[in-house]
Copies of this chain bind each other. A is one copy, B any other.
Amino acid sequence: MDLHILDHRLRVTSISKNGLVNYTHPLIKLIFLRNRTRCKFFSLTETPENYTVVLDEEGFKELPPSEHLQVESSIWLPLNVASNGNASSSSQAVGVTKIAKSVIAPLAQQHVSVFMLSTYQTDFILVREKDLSVVVSTLEEEFNIFKEVEGEYVPVCCQDFTNGLQKNGKEAIQPTVHPVLIPQNQFCVMSLDPDTLPSIATTLIDVLFYSNSFSPKEDSESSAGQDSDCIEFFSFSLIDGYISLVMDTEAQRRFPADLLFTSSSGELWRMVRIGGQPLGFGESFCF
């Protein structure tokens, strides 16, 4: 298998729920106005606790510092697993399960944290830039590792990095038991032609920025956020020109059915939430 180190340098941030109004201006720019920004990697995810925003340094410049914005101090690099072979059996074929076994578990043995970001198009494994030498040392046995340089993939030699492999690499990880929560709502993972993004702009803005605010016509209705068995989760990403949306079926009904597309099977996903409290950032995964 191939492992690609993509040419983005990312920041992982979170915006508090009641601080979102202060970030409407830069976020709308990053989501809808591609001509106004050089940001190429942007992801916004609403969770019950906050809004997690992962974005490259060009995008990060747009977010003014405030008490509502928490910034993880590291630079993160996105990795991408691709089954080698022809283009048609692309990274789509390598699922999270395989990534967990071949990437996340070996890195965990080296005490390297990862941040997973799953989109319609692919799954990104984010690692801290300072851990990169350990990542390469750890994964080079199983993977052909390439680094994206100006759009080209250049093979990475282990000598490029000081070997950061820990000598206790083979020690067994102590299993930790986490509580697991499985919310009732079902999710779909969708995409959208970027040219039709303007057509869903007002709905997307409404869902992202106003779903928790007062709505006179919905006084008596309960929303997913108020239902304790459901989870508030909505994710939008715009990465290298590709859009991905993860939303529950209730949110999906608000969008025009003919513009968003999902995989041919149209399957719905349930969420398994590990731990009652966030394990750092981005603790919720769809399986």
Residues of A within 8 A of B (CB): 20-22, 24-26, 28-29, 32-33, 35-38, 197-199, 201-203, 205-206, 209-210, 213-218
Contacts and interface: CB of A to CB of B under 8 A. Distances in A.
Given A201-B198, A202-B201, A216 B36 contact: yes
A215 B201 CA distance: 20
A85 to B, nearest CB: 37
Interface of A is mostly: helix
A38 B216 contact: yes
Contact of A35 (B29, B36, B217): B217
A36 B202 contact: no
Contacts of A206: 32-33, 36
Nearest to A216: B38
Contacts of A22: 22, 25
Nearest to A36: B215
A201 B206 CA distance: 12
Contacts of A197: 202
A202 B25 contact: no
Given A24-B24, A24-B25, A25-B21, A37 B198 contact: no
Nearest to A37: B216
